[in-house]
């Protein structure tokens, strides 16, 4: 009626029907920054932490059994044995003969053309492949053997010196003979990996000279000199040589930190350690494939015929197998579980489009707050939504999001390695069924025998860890239902 009292409009009813943050969690809001809704200004609120109003869901870590790892010396010996088998297979593919022909034919006396092979190159490649095994034996003897008398100490040091001098003498002797028989252009292939590795590693370590947070106790960082001070070239080369020959088997300690600053510092340390391990895996796998499968092709005579396609396939297979073997050793299950626990505490933020969730409560991100799942925050003029149960990550930091994406599921890396190695084995079995040459059958049989052991280790870890994580998850769900 005109002049009568009007009721609330539809827009007012829709606005009054929306629950506010005060009705959901209490009479006041988080960190004193205010709440923004459509058509309203920012309202100042009392400085009450959000964690006092909305308790984040506690992070429950699964208990996994202690899976025994191979000794470092045993692993390096198995890797060296596999690379020797792969080197023999490559020489078999290059210098094979038709040995079933009558003995009147000169090429039918042996299965390989030994007169065309460069024996100095084969010895040089063998020494280069054994570098990690020799260094591991020397370092293990120095660090683990208890010396009780001066005589034992002298014998130990003498044996190490003799082993190193023998390897150095064989390496120099083969290099001199190779310099006499080949051109300089061909000899450049011998040290090509080192020429690429050291400049990249020096640049990488220069970036690592930045200061590390003092509360990051998850890793044992060794530094020469005060942090932030630039180091000379000799120091960088010495550190890279030590990291190149030393396997990182020490695991960081996870202590379930409560402070957000401590969680982010722990994640930064784990990222540096993980990147260093991945760098070692990539270089050593490419180094092994280069010297095993590619370098013999560089010294083949122009009159020698070989199957280029089969040799390239062998190069790819050796690189993948070496990569998986090094990943299983340098990223053991306990180490991946440490990464998973840190990722569970770190959390992740999902960036939202402008205009979405305009009626929902929004907060300004604070670095000292543990944000619960589903909360909306403003950071750097963007809107983010909390995804994990605990969220202390920097919303605009891409490395934090990548860390959570990789490690919030503890079996993701293991499943990826199983998929890669299983694909290689299935392809080799398919090639074995279709092979028509005797060298293909022999090479595939030898490599499959080595790959079966790697698949066995991966499947063993997957079955044990899958049951452990599933039991812990079911126990956690039962605990939540009982509460």
pLDDT, position 381: 83
Assigned token pair, 354: 């402008």
On whether residue 172 sits in a domain, the answer given is no
Reported as a single tens digit per residue, the pLDDT across 4-15 is 445 544 444 334
Assigned token pair, 401: 């999001």
C-alpha span between 91 and 292 (Å, rounded): 9
C-alpha span between 319 and 418 (Å, rounded): 16
Q: What φ, ψ does residue 313 adopt, rounded to 5°?
A: -65, -40
Which residues form the domain of 230?
Answer: 72-117+182-344+401-482
High-pLDDT (> 90) share of the chain, %: 26
Identify which of 203, 206, 213, 211 has the alpha carbon closest to the alpha carbon of residue 230.
Answer: 206
On whether residue 82 sits in a domain, the answer given is yes
* 415 pLDDT higher than 90: yes
The distance from CA 385 to its chain's CA centroid, rounded to whole angstroms, is 28
C-alpha span between 343 and 403 (Å, rounded): 7
Helix (H, G, I), strand (E, B) or coil at 43: strand
High-pLDDT (> 70) share of the chain, %: 67
Overall domain count for the chain: 1
Which segment of 35-49, 317-331, 375-389, 412-426 scores lowest on mean pLDDT? 35-49
Question: Mean pLDDT of all residues in the chain?
Answer: 75
Helix (H, G, I), strand (E, B) or coil at 464: helix
pLDDT, position 42: 42
Q: What is the DSSP letter of 30?
A: B
The tokens 């120095």 sit on which residue? 142
pLDDT, position 284: 92
More confident residue, 18 or 383: 383
C-alpha span between 110 and 77 (Å, rounded): 30
Identify which of 71, 140, 94 has the alpha carbon closest to the alpha carbon of residue 312.
Answer: 94
* 352 pLDDT higher than 70: yes
Is residue 237 very low, low, confident or very high in pLDDT (cuts 50, 70, 90)? low
The structure's pTM equals 0.76
Reported as a single tens digit per residue, the pLDDT across 156-189 is 778 878 888 888 899 999 989 988 888 887 788 8
On whether residue 208 sits in a domain, the answer given is yes
On whether residue 95 sits in a domain, the answer given is yes
Beta-sheet strand order (sheet of 382-386): 349-352, 382-386, 376-379, 363-364
Identify which of 120, 93, 136 has the alpha carbon closest to the alpha carbon of residue 437.
Answer: 93
Reported as a single tens digit per residue, the pLDDT across 451-482 is 999 999 999 999 999 888 887 656 554 443 43
pLDDT, position 446: 92
pLDDT, position 321: 95
On whether residue 444 sits in a domain, the answer given is yes
What DSSP string runs through 53-111? HSPPPPP-PPP---PPPPPHHHHHHHHHHHHHHHHHHHHHHHSB--TTS-TTSGGGSSS
Rg (CA), the chain: 31
On whether residue 186 sits in a domain, the answer given is yes
More confident residue, 124 or 477: 124
What DSSP string runs through 297-310? HHT--TT----HHH
On whether residue 36 sits in a domain, the answer given is no
Q: Which residues pair with 327 in a beta bridge?
A: none
CA-based torsion, 20, 21, 26, 27: positive or negative = negative
On whether residue 366 sits in a domain, the answer given is no
pLDDT, position 215: 39
The distance from CA 438 to its chain's CA centroid, rounded to whole angstroms, is 38
pLDDT, position 206: 41
C-alpha span between 396 and 224 (Å, rounded): 33
Assigned token pair, 427: 């392809």
């Amino acid at each position: 009626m005109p002049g009568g009292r009007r009721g609330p409009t539809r827009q007012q009813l829709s606005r009054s029907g929306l629950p506010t943050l005060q009705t959901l969690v209490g009479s006041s809001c988080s960190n004193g920054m205010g709440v923004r809704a459509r058509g309203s200004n920012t309202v100042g609120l009392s400085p009450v932490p959000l964690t006092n109003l909305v308790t984040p869901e506690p992070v429950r870590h699964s208990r996994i059994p202690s899976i025994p790892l191979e000794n470092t010396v045993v692993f390096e010996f198995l890797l060296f044995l596999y690379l020797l088998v792969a080197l023999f297979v490559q020489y078999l593919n290059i210098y094979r003969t038709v040995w079933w022909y009558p003995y009147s034919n000169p090429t039918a006396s042996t299965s390989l053309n030994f007169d065309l092979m460069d024996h100095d190159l084969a010895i040089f490649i063998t020494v280069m492949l054994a570098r990690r095994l020799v260094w591991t034996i020397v370092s293990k003897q120095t660090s683990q053997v208890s010396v009780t008398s001066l005589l034992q100490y002298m014998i130990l040091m003498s044996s190490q010196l003799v082993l190193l001098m023998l390897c150095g003498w064989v390496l120099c002797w083969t290099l001199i003979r190779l310099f006499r028989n080949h051109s300089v252009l061909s000899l450049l292939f011998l040290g090509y990996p080192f020429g690429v590795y050291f400049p990249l590693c020096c640049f990488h370590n220069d970036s690592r000279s930045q200061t590390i947070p003092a509360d990051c106790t998850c890793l044992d960082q060794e530094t020469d000199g005060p942090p932030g001070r630039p180091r000379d070239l000799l120091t960088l080369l010495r550190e890279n040589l030590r990291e190149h020959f030393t396997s990182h088997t020490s695991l960081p300690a996870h202590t379930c930190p409560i402070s957000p600053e401590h969680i982010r510092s722990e994640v930064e340390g784990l990222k540096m350690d993980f990147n260093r391990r991945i760098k070692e895996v990539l270089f050593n796998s490419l180094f092994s494939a280069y010297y095993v499968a590619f370098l013999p092709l560089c010294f083949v005579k122009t009159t020698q015929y070989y199957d280029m396609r089969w040799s390239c396939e062998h190069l790819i297979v050796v690189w993948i197998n070496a990569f998986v073997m090094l990943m299983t050793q340098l990223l053991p299950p306990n180490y991946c579980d440490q990464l998973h626990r840190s990722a569970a505490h770190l959390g992740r933020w999902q960036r939202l489009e402008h205009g979405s969730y305009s009626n929902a409560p929004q907060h300004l991100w604070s670095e000292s707050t543990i944000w619960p799942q589903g909360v909306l925050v403003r950071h750097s003029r963007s809107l983010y939504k909390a995804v994990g149960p605990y969220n202390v990550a920097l919303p605009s930091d891409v490395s934090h999001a990548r860390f959570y994406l990789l490690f919030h599921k503890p079996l993701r890396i293991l499943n990826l390695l199983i998929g890669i190695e299983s694909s290689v084995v299935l392809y080799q079995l398919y090639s074995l069924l279709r092979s028509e040459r005797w060298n293909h059958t022999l090479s595939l049989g030898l490599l499959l025998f080595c790959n079966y052991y790697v698949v066995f280790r991966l499947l063993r870890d997957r079955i044990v860890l899958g049951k452990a994580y599933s039991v812990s998850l079911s126990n956690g769900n039962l605990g939540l239902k009982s509460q």
